[in-house]
Amino acid sequence: MFVGPSPPHTPLVNRRNNNHRPRNAIVTSALPDLFLAAVSLLFLWSSPKPLLSLPPNRFSFPLNPRRRITAMSRRSPPPPSQRFANPQSLSDWLESRLPSDSFAAWGVKPGTKNVHNLWLELSDGETSLADSTPPVRTVNVVTVRVIGKNGRILVEAHQELSDGSIRERFRPLSEKMKPEESPDEAVFRAIKEELGSIFNGGGDDVGQRIKILPGSYSRRVEERNSLSYPGLPARYALHSVDATVEGLPEEDFCTEEKEYDGGDSTMEDTVETRAAGKAVTVKRHYWKWLVGDSIVFPLRMDYLDLCKLACLVMDIIASGYDID
């Protein structure tokens, strides 16, 4: 009795030769073909497709997977400062990222600035904004401790702004740094802009009066909420130096600053000049000399004096270094 495979499962070529070939010959001739076919199919399905079969945009994905995850989990990055075509475009971008009550106080609350000021800072490269909620404003600042006779230190008591409000300061001369500006260059520019009007003629003559004290440079970073832009956190990189300026008055004095003048009819009508005309600017700086001995705590102080001193110290700490 034949015990081989049933006829339907036997190849035709083998059915013809079943009476002449042994059973093991049939198996050995069929298995290699099936095995090779299976291996070929497995190879075709598991091997990567050739480059020619990839879609045309196969190289458009980022090489770093983390970068894609970050981009998807955050808001789209803000356009570069030059792409904020005008203050209105910046305002639209900020509106959804800042508390509405804080943003509404810009330029309305005494001592604050408006969106035109921030747009000018971005256009000039003095400020950058991080894409976050709320955005973080990063500023490089130079602070100059001007030292006078008998070790007295010059501080800015307060400012008179273009909207008529008064902003308390009580800190050394401070100024935002320009892009790619060194601390030394920023010191000379800041002194010329804020103290130059006190000298007759001003200009290059002011630079000859300035001397930066060697070894006085220091740098630190502070993070705090901005007083000029309520609701907008700020990160200040503070570059501090000591300097002397010859020819300054020995008594308290006032200087004027005219960095932006939107009312000048001779200036070209551009987006920058129109923004400058609507920005809140500093018109006058009021300076005071402080003597080291005058800030030493006296041996006896009554309760009222202690309260006044405590309020003054807290006000200085809270105000931080909100520049211009």
Q: Which residue has the higher pLDDT, 170 or 7?
A: 170
Look at residue 79 and tell me whether its pLDDT is greater than 80: no
pLDDT band at 92 (very low <50, low <70, confident <90, very high): very high
Look at residue 290 and tell me whether its pLDDT is greater than 70: yes
Q: What is the pLDDT of residues 7-46, one digit of tens each?
A: 554 444 444 444 444 444 444 444 455 555 555 555 444 4
Tell me what pLDDT residue 263 has.
Answer: 47
Lowest mean pLDDT among 190-194, 298-302, 314-318: 298-302
pLDDT band at 271 (very low <50, low <70, confident <90, very high): confident
Using CA atoms, how far residue 260 sits from 36, 37, 115, 118, 201, in Å, is: 83, 82, 15, 14, 19
One-letter identity of residue 184: D
Look at residue 98 and tell me whether its pLDDT is greater than 90: yes
Buried b (16+ CB within 10 A) or exposed e, 69-81: eeeeeeeeebeeb
Rounded CA-CA distance 171/317 in Å is 10
Tell me what pLDDT residue 310 has.
Answer: 54
Tell me what pLDDT residue 285 has.
Answer: 97
Q: Decide if 321 contacts 176 (C-beta within 8 A).
A: no
Q: Decide if 318 contacts 170 (C-beta within 8 A).
A: no
Q: For 283-311, what is the mean pLDDT?
A: 62
Q: Collapsing DSSP states into helix, strand and coil, what is residue 270?
A: coil
Q: Beta strand pairing status for 136-146 and 233-245?
A: parallel
Tell me what pLDDT residue 34 has.
Answer: 52
Instruction: Look at the alpha carbons of 26, 29, 33, 35 in this order and tell me if their dihedral is positive or negative.
Output: positive
Closest CA to 159 of 112, 219, 207: 112
Q: Beta strand pairing status for 282-290 and 233-245?
A: unpaired
Lowest mean pLDDT among 6-10, 113-117, 166-170, 205-209: 6-10
Look at residue 138 and tell me whether its pLDDT is greater than 90: yes
pLDDT band at 283 (very low <50, low <70, confident <90, very high): very high
pTM above 0.95, yes or no: no
Q: Collapsing DSSP states into helix, strand and coil, what is residue 214?
A: coil
Using CA atoms, how far residue 199 sits from 193, 255, 259, 282, in Å, is: 11, 10, 17, 19
First-to-last alpha carbon distance for the chain, in angstroms, is 109
Q: What is the CA radius of gyration of the chain?
A: 37
Tell me what pLDDT residue 268 has.
Answer: 76
Rounded CA-CA distance 169/156 in Å is 6
